[in-house]
Structure 1
Amino acid sequence: MKSINLQRTESLLMELIPQALSQLSNSKINSLPITGVNCKNGKYDAVVYFDGSDFDKNEVKEVIESLKKANGRIKSDVLASTGWYKCPNFKFELDTSLEKSKHIEDLFAQIKKDKTKSEEE
């Protein structure tokens, strides 16, 4: 169970990180949808999840590389917006939960289709 303070931090980062990304000149990451933030070790580390469904595997690697390079700038923007003494170290990861939920929806659709087909026979 996460503390309310930590949940607030994650929520605030969910708002601030996309704002910071929008200031960047890289078109691949400046409108990147952030789907979640998971803070670890208090506020020292944060895993930032993004939706990469529009990218292939190579592009995802490029996006992560670009995000790593922009990490300092993102941290500066977050610090400027919050007035915090220290900003978490961000680690960016592809959010695969959206892909999994789509796969589950596809399975349900297939089951429904098969069931309807067998009832007609």
Structure 2
Amino acid sequence: MKSVNLQRTESLLMELIPEALSNLDDNRINSLPITGVNCKNGKYDAIVYFDGSDYDKEEIKIIISLLHRANGRIKTHILASTGWYKCPNFNFVNDTSLEKSKHIEDLFMQIRKTKSSEE
């Protein structure tokens, strides 16, 4: 169970990270959808999940590299917006849960089609 302060921090980061990304010049990452933030070790580390379903594996690697390079500018934006003393270190990860849920929905559709054709 996460503390209320940690949940509040994650929620605030969910708002501020896309805002920081939108200020960057690179079109590959400035409109990247952020799907979740999971803070670890208090506010020292945060895993930031993004929706990379529109990209292949090579493009995902490039995007993660670009995000890693932009980490300092993202932190600067967040510190300026919040007045915090310290900003978490961000680790960007492709969120595959959306793909998994879509795959499960596709399986259910196949089951429905099979049942309806058997009747």
Q: Which bracket does the TM-score occupy, shorter chain normalised?
A: over 0.9
| Aligned-partner Cα distance in 2 for 1:40–1:29 | 24
Question: CA offsets, 1:35-86, max 9 Å, x none?
Answer: 0000000000000000001111100000000000000000000000000000
| Aligned-partner Cα distance in 1 for 2:20–2:108 | 38
| Aligned-partner Cα distance in 1 for 2:101–2:10 | 23
- The total of aligned residue pairs comes to 119
Identify the residue that residue 112 of structure 1 maps to in structure 2: 112
What's the RMSD between the two structures over aligned residues? 0.3
Aligned-residue sequence identity (percent) comes to 76
Length-normalised TM-score, structure 1: 0.98
Identify the residue that residue 66 of structure 1 maps to in structure 2: 66
In structure 1, the gaps of 5 or more residues are none
Identify the residue that residue 23 of structure 1 maps to in structure 2: 23
Length-normalised TM-score, structure 2: 1.00
Identify the residue that residue 44 of structure 1 maps to in structure 2: 44
In structure 2, the gaps of 5 or more residues are none
| Aligned-partner Cα distance in 1 for 2:5–2:77 | 21
| Aligned-partner Cα distance in 1 for 2:78–2:95 | 22
AA at the equivalent of 1:110: Q
Question: CA offsets, 1:90-117, max 9 Å, x none?
Answer: 0000000000000000000000000001
